[in-house]
Amino acid sequence: MNFVVIFEICHALHHPKETQMKIAKLVAAFCLFAVCSACHKDTNVELTGFIPSNIPLDYNKSTTIHSYKNPMKDMSAFKSVVVQEVKIEANGDNPDEASKLSIQFRNEIIAAVGLPVAAAGGSGVLEICASITGLKQNVPVLNIAPQSQMRGIGYGYVACEIYALDGKDGAPVAAYADTQNTQRFSSEKLSDWGSAQLGLKTMADAFGAMLKKK
C-alpha cells in the first residue's frame, strides 16, 4: 500500500476531530458546487421570424447577437429615417408597461440613428421596423440578498429584433437581434422595469452604431 495512504489513515485515526473538520469542509464545498451549478444563466430569446427570411443574419456565439450589414449600402445615401411603430410580441406581465417600453424603444432608435424623421418612405429615406420579442420584469425584493441573486430568480430581460430597408427599393440595409439580461451589479435590478429600459437603450445604440460603422 502507498506510504502516503497509510500515513493519511493513521493520521485520521489519531486525529478524529481534524478528520471531522476535513469532512465538513468537503461537504460544504460539495454543497457550494451544487448551488453554483444551479446559478443563474442569462436568457437568450430565440428569433421569432420578425426579421424577413431574405436577410442573411450572422450569429456571434460569444455575444449571442444576430446581425447583418449590407456592404453595398452606404449610410451617407440616407438623409432621413422612418421608424415604424414598434411591435410587441411579448407583453410580459404588464401590457400597459410594454406599450410604454415600445414607445421608448422607437424614440431610442431614432436618437441612435441620428437622422431627421421623415413623414414617409422614399428615395434617401431609411425605413426601420422593430419588435420587442421578449420581456420579463424584475422582482426587486429578490435582487437584494446574494443567495437569491445567484439563481437570478428576480432578474428580468428584454429582447428585440430590428431591421432597416432602403426606402427607395426595399433592399435590406441592416438587421439586429439581441437579448439584454439584468446585470447583478446594476442599480436597475432594484426597479421593476429599469433593466428593460436600459436594455432597450443599449440595443438601440448598438444598432445605430452598426449602421454608422464603415
Report the distance separating Cα 131 and Cα 109, nearest Å: 12
What is the reported pLDDT for 93? 66
What is the reported pLDDT for 13? 53
**CB burial of residue 211 (10 Å; 0-12, 13-18, 19+):** buried
Do 63 and 31 share a domain, yes or no?
no
How many independent structural domains does the chain possess? Answer: 2
β-pair partners for 65: 60
Q: How would residue 17 be classed by pLDDT, with cut points 50, 70 and 90?
A: low
Report the distance separating Cα 186 and Cα 149, nearest Å: 12
**Predicted model pTM:** 0.79
**Percent of the chain clearing pLDDT 70 (strictly above):** 76
Q: Is 161 within a domain? A: yes
Q: Which domain holds residue 33?
A: 3-37
- Structure confidence by residue, pLDDT tens digits, 48-86: 999 999 999 999 999 999 999 999 999 999 999 999 999
Do 22 and 64 share a domain, yes or no?
no
Do 195 and 100 share a domain, yes or no?
yes
* 183-211 average pLDDT score: 89
- Structure confidence by residue, pLDDT tens digits, 25-39: 444 433 433 443 345
DSSP-derived secondary structure for 146-165: HHHHHHTTT--EEEEEEEEE
- Structure confidence by residue, pLDDT tens digits, 99-137: 999 999 999 999 999 999 999 999 999 999 999 999 999
- Amino acid identity, position 86: V
Q: Is 45 within a domain? A: no
Q: Which three cell numbers stand for residue 25?
A: 469542509
Do 109 and 155 share a domain, yes or no?
yes
Side-chain-facing half-sphere of 39: CA atoms under 13 Å:
8
Do 72 and 150 share a domain, yes or no?
yes
Side-chain-facing half-sphere of 90: CA atoms under 13 Å:
22
The CATH number given to whatever domain includes residue 173 is 3.40.50
Do 63 and 145 share a domain, yes or no?
yes
Q: Is 133 within a domain? A: yes
β-pair partners for 58: 67
